[in-house]
Amino acid sequence: MKNIRWSKWLSLFCILVTPHSLFAESKLLDSIDLTPLQQCPPWQGIYRSVTPWKGDEALAPLYLTADRVTTTNNGDFVLDGGVVIQRAGQTLRSDSAIYQQERSQVFAEGSINFQQDAFLLTSHDAIFSLDQKQGEFSDAEFFMTDINGRGRAEMISIDTPERVRLKTARYTSCRPGNDDWYLSSPEIKLDKKNSVGSARHVVLTFKQVPFFYFPYISFPIDDQRKSGLLPPRIINSSQSGFQISMPYYWNIAPQYDATLTPVYMAERGIQLKNEFRYLSRFGMGTLQADFLPKDKIYGQSRVFYNYKHDGSIAKNWNLALRFKQVSDKNYFEDLGGSLARSSARYVERRLDLSYGGNIGRFKIRLQNHQIVDKNLANSSRPYQRLPQLTYDLPQQKLGPIQFDLKSELVRFDRTGRINAVRADLQPKISAPFSKQTGFFKPQLTLRHTTYALSGAVDDDAEKKLLRTVPIVSVDSGLFFERDTSWGKRPLLHTLEPRLFYLNIPFRDQSELPRFDAGMPSLNFSRLFQENRFSGSDRVGDADQLTVALTSRLLDGNNGREYLQVRMGQIQYFEDRLVQLSGTGMETVSQSDTLGEIKFSLNNHWSGKTELRWESEGDNLYKKTIQLQYKPSRRHILNLGYRFEKERQKQVDISFFWQVSNAWSAVGRWNYSQYDSRLLESLAGIEYSSCCWAVRLLSQRFLVDSAKEEYDESVSLQLELKGLSAIGHDIREILERGILGYDE
pLDDT in tens, 133-155: 678 889 988 887 766 778 889 99
pLDDT of residue 222: 60
Predicted pLDDT of residue 221: 60
Calculate the CA dihedral of residues 172, 178, 184, 190 and round it to 10 degrees: 30
- Please count the other Cβ atoms lying within 10 Å of the Cβ belonging to residue 109: 17
Proportion of the chain above pLDDT 90, given as a percent: 48
pLDDT > 50? residue 35: no
Nearest Cα to Cα of residue 211 among 252, 173, 167, 180: 180
Between CA 245 and CA 227 the distance in angstroms is 17
This prediction has a pTM of 0.78
Instruction: Give the residue among 691, 672, 671 at the shortest CA–CA distance from 681.
Output: 671
Closest Cα to residue 14, out of 722, 729, 737?
A: 722
Residue range 433-461: mean pLDDT, rounded: 90
Expressed in angstroms, the distance from the first to the final Cα of the chain is 44
Write the CB contacts of 696 (distance below 8 Å, at least 6 apart in sequence): 684, 685, 686, 714, 715, 716, 717
pLDDT per position as a tens digit, 626-661: 999 999 888 999 999 999 998 899 999 999 999 998
d(C-alpha 697, C-alpha 235), whole Å: 10
Asked if the model's pLDDT at residue 67 lies above 60, the reply is yes
Band (291; pLDDT cuts 50, 70, 90): very high
Closest by Cα among 382, 528, 330 to 441:
528
* Strand ranges in 101-195 using DSSP code E only, listed in sequence order: 105-116, 119-129, 134-144, 149-160, 163-172, 181-191
Q: 570-608, pLDDT tens digit by residue?
A: 999 999 999 987 677 889 999 999 999 999 977 799 999
Confidence of residue 550 (pLDDT cuts 50, 70, 90): very high
Phi-psi region of 647 (alpha: psi -120 to 50; beta: other; left: phi over 0): alpha
Per-residue model confidence (pLDDT) at position 24: 29
pLDDT at 63: 84
In 193-316, beta strands by DSSP E? 196-206, 209-220, 228-229, 233-237, 241-245, 248-253, 256-265, 269-280, 283-292, 302-314
The Cα 700–Cα 193 span in angstroms is: 51
Domains, the chain, ranges and CATH? Answer: 6-226 (2.60.450.10)
User: pLDDT tens for residues 512-529?
Assistant: 999 999 999 999 999 999
pLDDT band (50, 70, 90) for residue 131:
low
Rounded to an integer, what distance in angstroms lies between the CA atom of residue 321 and that of residue 684?
38
